[in-house]
Structure 1
Amino acid sequence: MNDESVKERLVECATEWLATRPRETLTIRAVATAAGTSTAAVYSLFGNKDGLIAAVRDEAVAGLFAAVTAVPATEDVLDDIYALAGAYRNWGREHPQLYTVLFGGVQSFEPSGTVGTGDPVRPLVQAVDRGVVESVLDGRARAIALSLWVALHGLVTLELAGALDTPTAQAAFRTTINATLRGWVTPEPARRLRRAELGGGIRSQT
């Protein structure tokens, strides 16, 4: 087993541990045992426990960043914001443990554009910035982005906890994102959002 495969296995085991147990219970010995390797491998590959935890978080940040940056920009910024929100939700559903680690208290996080070069919510902030510049959104970009993130995080967290079945979560996603955006848009986009909500959302595919 080469160093890269050992590293991947250690990150995987640490991710599972951090997603299901308090951070303070994680030990290098426990993770090494779960990964079928030695404590020396952890020290060699990550330096210490904090380095291992940072590697888990880095993987989560990189994964979510890749998912949202894969969303292509269009001429309609509201469509783009909706699509970015959908990509965020889909990544959380597909990677529940990494999502829990990223937003579950391993390290504080806010959409400020300061979390490394791969800030996972930066594309959403940039789309909101564009909406403000184009006079589609009315307000401070950071406040708008934060309100969207809060709505998204609540939805994804409830869905991952099993509180919402898929059809209910899908419907809640459409109405919640539309309603959040409608609170910030200028009059004409607001009317379009209302029509879209009645018709099933700006984009029906997420």
Structure 2
Amino acid sequence: MIDTTSVTAEVGGVRILDSPDLGVVPGQVVAVVGPSGSGKSTLLRILTGVQVPTSGSVTIDGVELTRLSVGARAAFRRDRLGVVFQDPELLDELSVAENAALPIVLAGRPRREALALAREQLARVGLASLVDGSPQTLSRGEAMRVAVARALVAGPRAVIADEPTASLDRTNALTIARLLVDNARAAGAATVIASHDPEVVALCDDVIDLRSEARVTRS
């Protein structure tokens, strides 16, 4: 489902990423770890098609992202990936449900249908009572749950999460991580989570350590 081969990234002739190959199957959760500057965020930007690697290839759900144009990568990211960042990036002018529905509205889904799907997903992340409220009234943990609902609303076959728990307290961090892991199991979504949190990493099936370029498969 998610496959990378010989992916590297350079800036100004300086190598900032030399990634071990990834192979993530449906329902599997892989953690990407490493110290600041090891290339975690760079790798995830490449996996989402935001950045093109200097060398190597990235294939997700049978599509080689590195062969697509900028516009085609953006459409692929919108339509076929679930993406969660450290910052929930909610729009204050939209309701909670409208924020969660945004990807499928932009993809052309009728608004009423999109909002119904968003409300279902928000209920799954424990926010059924807040769907019509404003993002401005949410706690940080609640806002991140909206971001997770938004990432999952289209039922993506692959989910990429870049440090989604970094700014959360312990309880909320584990809640967000478990939501992503549970979705991977239930929906068969190949999932990659970049994290420095050992408790989050412990929930994952495999670990890619960019510092040692090693992969550890949990028994």
Normalising by structure 1, we get a TM-score of 0.30
Structure number with larger C-alpha Rg: 1
More strand, by proportion? 2
Q: Taking CA–CA contacts closer than 8 Å with sequence separation of 6 or more, which of the two structures ends up with the larger relative contact order?
A: 2
